[in-house]
Amino acid sequence: MSERLETAAVLGAGVMGSALAAHLAGAGVRVHLLDIVPPDLKDDEKKDPKARTRFASSGLEKALKAKPAAFYDPDAARLVTPGNLDDHLERLRECDLVIEAVTERLDIKQALFTKIVPFLRKDVMLASNTSGLSIAGMSAVLPPDLQKRFVVMHFFNPVRYMRLMEVVPGPKTEPAIVERATRIGEKLGKGVVFGKDTTNFIANRVGMYALMTTIEVMEKMDLSFEEVDKIAGKPMGRPSSAAFGTADVVGLDTFVHVAKNCYDSLVKDEERQVFKSPAWLDAMVKAGHLGRKAGGGFFKKVGNDILVLDRKTGEYRPQAKVRFDSLGATKGVEDPGERLKTLLSGSDKAAQFAWTVTSRTLAYTARRMGEIADDVVNIDRAMRWGFNWDQGPFEAWDSLGVEETVARMKKDGLDVPKWVTDMLASGRKTFYAGTEADKTQYDVPTKKAVVIRRGDKHLSLAALKEDKKRVVAENMGASLVDLGDGVLCFEAHTKLNTIDGDITAMLSQAVTEAEKNYDALVLGNDGEHFGAGANLMLVYMAAQQKAWDQIDQAVRELQDVLQRVKYARVPVVAAPFGYTFGGGCETVMACDAVQAYAETYIGLVEVGVGVIPAGGGCLRMVQRWTGDVAEVSSVDLLPLVGQASLNIAMAKVGTGAEDARKLRYILPTDGVSLNRDRLLYEAKQRALGLARSGYRPPLPRLIRAAGIDMARTIGMNVWGMVEGGWASKHDALIASKIAYVICGGDVAPNTMLTEQRYLELEREAFVSLCGEEKTQKRIESMLTTNKPLRN
């Protein structure tokens, strides 16, 4: 059986099918995207290949236009070949993997399988993306040998961004196929969980129960949609879209369909009635209030306002202010478990609502053990990765205290399954125990603690640091951790990993330590983001006190340490992910190489707070856009320095690692990891590769400056934007300073400048802008509202 995934077919070019094709192409897989021949073709179209393939071609076009983007890089669409299910079935003989993503009807899927069987290779893996239909029913029409190679690979929408993939075997699926599906899912960057052949598998079964219970409790407590979403979002450890906002994103028609599938299929479920949608919800769907895709659902955007549907009148109205003491108590509580515990300890209506929904969901999920999955880990991961919960049900239960919570549940009359009380009676008080390196779960079948295995390519700094010998040095802002094999890791751990004095001091120490005792240095961390730039509060306070020397010194220290990173005697590799803004971006650009997570949002965004990049960002942009041509005096630098200036002046952010390549924050030679768990491991391997292949640090080079005349030309274009009302005078001031720095200052064209001169220009411009009242207002706005101010 082929272990390589080079060519795949996706059958069905709807929203999910086209997104699956885009994601596979993004991983470098050639894809045949096939759909039916349009049934309404005119006589002159029936022999037209383009007309016959219209559905698949249209699906590909929609994927290219999708927002959020379905492709990592639109250029990858060249790997997708549209076709139809009548004329192009021969293409299936090329495929290592065939995934069906057609309408969720058993008869349609069975008919499709019967049609394609003669064209499938003897070693192909056949998969279904069904969200919950019977696997045994689907596979019944397949030949016995193909039933062994049939498996469900249930991706979540949007495919690129949702981490979860549920793998569910059929009654005759071979274990080797389950393993192969897992490897493919991990290659595609997915977190894989293992479910069973039950209605809606794991995530949708638990998630739909939680949402439908939310509706039931809301009605009993007479709460409004906006009140529920204020409670059922961050305070309860759920995504900011909460309950009804999530339903609007998913689509109310889809939401009701999944609930109906539960109600119709789960005839023996003790809480089957929960899944029956109320009449007013069915009426919303019938009236076309389907959510964002239809312009409005529970919420509707009108201008800059978000209106809410009034359940009693059926009309949209302004949202009322939602105030509950228990909600107020959760503000500022960062830990999701502590935040939920704080909410549930209240006595007001919000706390009562949260407790009722939470307790019922926890008890219901526990009763599903063995039915939808065999362990707590798979269920918790499914809810974190598929519904973006901060904690899975059993993780949240541990945070609340299992023993105390069970007592309260029983007092409320909830049915707590025997396996939970048996666990408590055995003396084990939590579902999870142990440290990060050797964490165990309570295994229900054996009633014993079982170690949770971590993948060989999953490097966890938290786990490594439990061995104190691996912590080489640390301060309040950062740590140095020994990754093994001669590689040192610099780990930032300030809030959002913003840069301050502790960060720069430890980074400098990291270079010294790596040069002395290690073969390579990696910059990475286990947080939510690589780094959100400078500590704005420190800059703002210094500016308010007119401590210009203090600001100058802080910038100088950052420049100096990043130049040390650039010219270190050992290779330095950055492993960025998530927010990589401002100083975080400058840090990445100073490294020899980058291994970026695919979902890295990186850019020089300093203009948003009224300053310019001053940690070498302007310098690196000049180097990356002019490159070797800067040494050729006949080359016109205006288009190149113009693009470098534009990146900075427009605060352009790469919407993913592939997009960042085009902006040159990441270079074509840098690597991209689709799987977040493997990022640090793969960065380590890249660093070792450089170290073991005769690494030599780069030599500083002179840069041919564009000169003051070109800076003035760019400035004139900016002033035209001011005159046209597209930019403010303060925008123009910032842009003129960017152009001045990028072009090398007040020098003649073709003057050869050192890197240090560019750094001096950056620092001078940064400090001068900090003295501007309007810049200070921009910083203040970002600190207080987290929104940029245009002034």
Residue 459 is predicted with a pLDDT of: 94
Q: Tens digit of pLDDT for each residue in 372-414? A: 999 999 999 999 999 999 999 999 999 999 999 999 999 999 9
Residue 456 is predicted with a pLDDT of: 87
Q: Tens digit of pLDDT for each residue in 441-478? A: 999 999 999 999 888 899 999 999 999 999 999 999 99
Residue 632 is predicted with a pLDDT of: 52
The label of the residue with tokens 């179209």 reads 45
- DSSP letter for 77, please: G
Calpha distance 780→681 (Å, rounded): 39
Residue 597, pLDDT > 70, answer yes
Q: Tens digit of pLDDT for each residue in 169-188? A: 999 999 999 999 999 999 99
Over pLDDT 70: what percentage of the chain? 99
Residue 687, pLDDT > 80, answer yes
pLDDT tier, 715 (very low <50, low <70, confident <90, very high otherwise): confident
Taking residues 118-128, report their average pLDDT: 97
- DSSP letter for 760, please: H
Taking residues 182-195, report their average pLDDT: 96
Taking residues 535-546, report their average pLDDT: 94
pLDDT tier, 139 (very low <50, low <70, confident <90, very high otherwise): very high
Give the CA angle between residues 760, 704, 659 to the nearest 5°. 80
Q: Tens digit of pLDDT for each residue in 242-281? A: 999 999 988 999 899 999 999 999 999 999 999 999 999 9
Residue 2, pLDDT > 50, answer no
Residue 522, pLDDT > 90, answer yes
Residue 502, pLDDT > 60, answer yes
Structure token digits, residue 131: 């969200």
Residue 1, pLDDT > 50, answer no
Q: Tens digit of pLDDT for each residue in 610-648? A: 999 999 999 999 999 987 555 555 567 778 888 889 999
Residue 631 is predicted with a pLDDT of: 56
Taking residues 495-506, report their average pLDDT: 95
Taking residues 289-301, report their average pLDDT: 92
Mean of the per-residue pLDDT values of the chain? 94
Helix (H) or strand (E) holding 76: none
- If we measure between CA atoms, which residue out of 117, 39, 37, 122 comes closest to residue 85? 37
H-only helix segments in 485-616? 501-517, 536-544, 548-566, 583-589
Structure token digits, residue 755: 């890197």
pLDDT tier, 3 (very low <50, low <70, confident <90, very high otherwise): low
Give the CA angle between residues 636, 637, 643 to the nearest 5°. 130
Residue 640 is predicted with a pLDDT of: 83
| Inter-axis angle of helices 755-770 and 617-626, nearest 10 | 130
Q: Tens digit of pLDDT for each residue in 559-595? A: 999 999 999 999 999 999 999 999 999 999 999 999 9
Structural domains present in the chain: 7-194 (3.40.50.720), 203-416 (1.10.1040.50), 461-636+647-699 (3.90.226.10)
Calpha distance 707→704 (Å, rounded): 9
Residue 87 is predicted with a pLDDT of: 97
Identify the three-state secondary structure at position 658: helix
pLDDT tier, 726 (very low <50, low <70, confident <90, very high otherwise): confident
